[in-house]
A and B are shown apart, each in its own frame.
Chain A
Amino acid sequence: MGQSNFKYFCIILSFLFTFLLFLAIASLFLIPNPSEILNALKTEEMMFSLKLSIITSSISTFLIIILAIPIGYALSRYKVPGKSVIKSILDLPMAFPELVLGLAILLLFGQSFIGEFLENFGIKVVFTKLGIVVAQFFTALPYAIRIIYSTFEEINPRYELVSRSLGYGEFETFFNVSLPLAKNGLFASTIITFARCMGAFGAVLILAGGSYMNTEILPITLYLNISYGNIGMAITSGILLVIISFIAILVFEKFEGYKGE
């Protein structure tokens, strides 16, 4: 009896909180009238911001996954000296505020030797669209590495050993055995990375400047329009971000779900 009371308590609590969160998200959709959202969607600013968000996030996601696969694989399969230190540093950006990350990469790519080196080749990071990609890259990379790492962790190395014993080389084994086995995890991490890039704000604001119709991505549009006092525009960019995140989470859940069953 006591046990079942506890069970219902936990279940009711889950329902209650889920409902509350749902209500909060729903109010974003309910408060403005549809024509206001439609008008905000049609503005040049919103279109610019949406397009820039999708383009920069796609580039960032591509670069992140390319890098996260070997890093995740290395951390999972090989004995790396100082592995726990490396893992801690890689995870760090998830724990500290994005604004701190933004300031850190501003100092790194600003007037440091790296910034000057890049500038010699005509590559400008600070206050540019490239800066958006760099900021998204640093914000989302840790998430990608984490998911890819745990994906490889769950794959039994025995398959790889079998492949090696049948005469496949190290790279061939990775490409023909490990990668296909990690397919679902890779897909899930791509989706989450993309969503994280779309939502990156603090680091982008500092490194790229967050300036109107120039380095303006969706979260910046939301922030700018709150300062301008255009609540309709702000809510619309919020709605777009919620929709994108929702789709991402749904896809992620689907793939994560397969793993459990």
Chain B
Amino acid sequence: MLIFGVLCGCLNENEEIQKNKPYEGKTITVLCGAGLMKPMNELIQNFENKTGAKVEVHYGGSAELFGILTTTGGDVFIPGAYKYTEDAMKKELILKETVKNITYHIPVIAVPKGNPKNIKNLEDLAKPGVRVVIGDPNACAIGKVSKKILEKNQLWENVSKNIIVKTPTVSQLLIYITTNQADAAIIWEDMVTWAEGKGKIDVVRIPKEKNIIKTIPTAVTIYAKKDGNLEVAKAFNDYISSDEAKEIWKKWGFIPCNQ
């Protein structure tokens, strides 16, 4: 009986491994926006444990990733904004039916801890004496969005007077707020959550109707088909947009899309 039981257990376990790790020995390449690194590392770990597939990931700026996609390939493409996926679709590098929006990328106003200038809304950025730092609209996505949000609310001209510096990267904005060099900046909400642990930043949310919210998409590329990785790539694509994955996105400060 005992021996039989052990044997059964072994057999069952073997069967389970076979059933649950269908992609043992397969490797896919993922091109992923650098800002998504923290949740993505966790998601990849889970996916590898579950399926046995190996995921090689390249983190980078969206424009850089787009360049890699057009020249050397990659099986799954996850840039920081939908625009890049759209461009890739126009070039027919993406399998259209696989495009899924994973999470929202939400601009918020970041202020130093305690909110010394008492910023409550976008209009307050135009108050005299408020030192505002924003991303350079020509250089980074958050800069472009910040300008559009302020224009949408007819505030660009007045806020411009308060802008003390325009930075080429979004991370630089975070430094200036945490070190109290400025009173307010517009940055991505998910970044704030990471820095919040340090307790140096407060967040002022922008009402939905005044904000411009971006989405982060994922999609399988035509290269997956060519490389014979289509099935694995699709499974990964489905996994990172699954309900289970949504919990991980939430944990890292992202707000998953409900599709």
Q: Chain A interface (Cβ within 8 Å of chain B)?
A: 103, 106-107, 110-111, 126-127, 205-206, 209-212, 214-215, 223-224, 227-229
Contact = CB atoms under 8 A, between A and B. Distances in A.
B204 interface: no
Q: Of residues B140, B168, B169, B180, which shows the largest number of chain A Cβ atoms within 10 Å of its Cβ? A: B168
A103 B138 contact: no
Main secondary structure of the interface of A (DSSP, over half): loop
B172 interface: yes
8 contacts: A107-B179, A127-B165, A209-B164, A224-B139, A227-B136, A227-B138, A227-B139, A228-B139
B236 to A, nearest CB: 30
Interface of B: 63, 133, 136, 138-140, 164-169, 172, 175, 179-181
Contact of A111 (B167, B168, B179): B179
Given A111-B181, A212-B138, 17 more contacts: A103-B175, A106-B175, A110-B180, A126-B181, A205-B168, A209-B172, A211-B136, A211-B166, A212-B136, A223-B168, A224-B139, A227-B138, A227-B139, A227-B140, A227-B168, A227-B169, A228-B138
B179 A110 contact: yes
Given A106-B181, A111-B181, A206 B175 contact: yes
B181 A210 contact: no
A227 B167 CA distance: 11
B181 A127 contact: yes
A209 B180 CA distance: 14
A224 B168 contact: yes
B202 to A, nearest CB: 16
B179 A211 contact: no
Given A107-B179, A110-B179, A127-B165, A206 B136 contact: no
B188 to A, nearest CB: 17
Contacts of B175: 103, 106, 206
Closest 5 CB pairs of A and B: A209-B165, A227-B139, A127-B165, A111-B180, A211-B166
Contacts of B180: 110-111
